[in-house]
Structure 1
């Protein structure tokens, strides 16, 4: 008799879940991104402890009431460093994304809308760069410049330009042969007007999808470079730096590396989930 209400409640729960404006994974990912943005804008709302100050007497304290996620080797609060580190990791990812989107958009449109020789030259350059792993290209850029927060964002952004450029070029070539563009040519519209009113606006529709997908990859790549010592330096509370600092204490204090790694993983999953959902909606709208 006691099981009947539970059985009857399950369809009601399913109907409520189906009535949500977004799928549950996408909704949770969007909420997580909102929390990240809030942590970037006002980290003091979430953690009042100073991320750069610690007491050596509280070194490697496990998670508990005094320190929610424990302390690191220098007695600094791991939770406070994670919250303040969201600003560095997310801003580096956004900066890298902006560079890759701008560079890829310019090169992709240049290749698709210029003559045959320009298209072939730009395409070969993009294909050659795309043949190398993006992390390797980022390492090369950092080696040419020097380690640092800004240089890591530039390195990751430059390394992902080929991926954006190839996608933008392909999309522009498809739009260029669309019927409404051909009709505009037949009606004698000027070239710059066709490009500005028909081709570029339609190409820009794919940018939010590419940008959302790229932020997660940029955060992961920049954190990887920071882990190797090529990004922000200690005591900057950046997630990659925190992972690098936890290498010597991970066996005795697992929380110093697990929680920053979890924050990094969840961020990549959240941005990728939202980006793929947006991509499916745009593709479905086209059909």
Structure 2
């Protein structure tokens, strides 16, 4: 009895320690919460207009009145970054939903049914993987038209293959589990087993991938906006702000401010994704 009692507190402590969120992850959640708040209610964080500026205040450096400085038209850059968050975040969310739903469905069907279904869908995924993601996004957005929503659709389609491969691998692993075989022996139908047992267990790995892809989608959409494939001015997408700022290199805050916000958001999402994989 004395040998067992000391082990109980150790086990409890180790479990609590395992549930403890690292400070870097907490900081990442704070950054993402701030970005989401910017996108939902930008008016709560700035009173300046993102479109109308004061010509006399053009190209002012960062100060208490203008945290990120002003641009060449006298517009407050912090207000433009905050108001541009909604477009950047919503378009990245659209891209992730398209990639997760389409790719997850392809991987689910290919991994569960196998045979000619797996072969056909696997060839489709191979074709998508053979084309660089950014190049595929450029091709699609060129066909659809220059618009942030179309850029989001193009980004989502270019990431379908990644979700399909992950989901297929997880479905094949789950399909071989004992509880799935037991369900077959008890007379469960294929669709019942697919929806009740395979899908919930196989989709656990999709969440960290979705968080990671959310950050990558922000980068891709910002890159497309930088090249002019997004909404035209006076829109304030992060990539467009960087593109405008590159023409005024003597005033570096025009590039640094939206670039640092983009990088900070993506790094925070990557850290959260890595933590989710470790705690799965």
Residue 236 in structure 1 maps to residue 235 in structure 2: yes
Residue 149 in structure 1 maps to residue 145 in structure 2: no
Report the more deviating stretch, 26-35 or 113-122: 113-122
Tell me which residue corresponds to 1:258. Answer: 256
Q: How far did 1:49 drift? A: 0.4
- 1:65 and 1:169 map into 2 onto residues whose CA distance is 52
* Contact 2:128/2:161, CA 8 A, preserved across alignment: yes
- 1:162 and 1:221 map into 2 onto residues whose CA distance is 16
Give the SS at the match of 1:248.
coil
Residue 163 in structure 1 maps to residue 173 in structure 2: no
Residue 213 in structure 1 maps to residue 212 in structure 2: yes
Tell me which residue corresponds to 2:268. Answer: 270
Report the more deviating stretch, 200-209 or 93-102: 200-209
Tell me which residue corresponds to 2:87. Answer: 88
Residue pairs, 1:1-287, within 5 angstroms: 21-250=20-249, 252-282=250-280
1:220-265 superposed Cα distances (whole Å, 9 cap, x missing partner)? 0000000000012111111001001011102x10000001000000
Q: Which runs of 4+ in 1 moved over 6 A?
A: none
- 2:203 and 2:167 map into 1 onto residues whose CA distance is 9
- 1:81 and 1:68 map into 2 onto residues whose CA distance is 11
Q: How far did 1:20 drift? A: 9.5
TM-score by length of 1: 0.89
Q: How far did 1:30 drift? A: 0.5
- 1:234 and 1:273 map into 2 onto residues whose CA distance is 32
Give the SS at the match of 2:97.
helix
Compared CA separation, residues 178 and 19, structure 1 to 2 (3 A): closer
- 2:156 and 2:191 map into 1 onto residues whose CA distance is 29
Report the more deviating stretch, 155-164 or 50-59: 50-59
- 2:104 and 2:135 map into 1 onto residues whose CA distance is 22
* Contact 2:31/2:268, CA 8 A, preserved across alignment: yes
Compared CA separation, residues 162 and 20, structure 1 to 2 (3 A): closer
Tell me which residue corresponds to 1:10. Answer: none
Q: Give the paired residue count.
A: 264
* Contact 2:141/2:154, CA 8 A, preserved across alignment: yes
Give the SS at the match of 2:279.
helix
- 1:150 and 1:69 map into 2 onto residues whose CA distance is 27
Compared CA separation, residues 194 and 19, structure 1 to 2 (3 A): closer
Q: How far did 1:196 drift? A: 1.3
* Contact 2:166/2:206, CA 8 A, preserved across alignment: no
Compared CA separation, residues 136 and 55, structure 1 to 2 (3 A): same
Q: How far did 1:22 drift? A: 1.1
Give the SS at the match of 1:205.
helix
- 2:63 and 2:18 map into 1 onto residues whose CA distance is 39
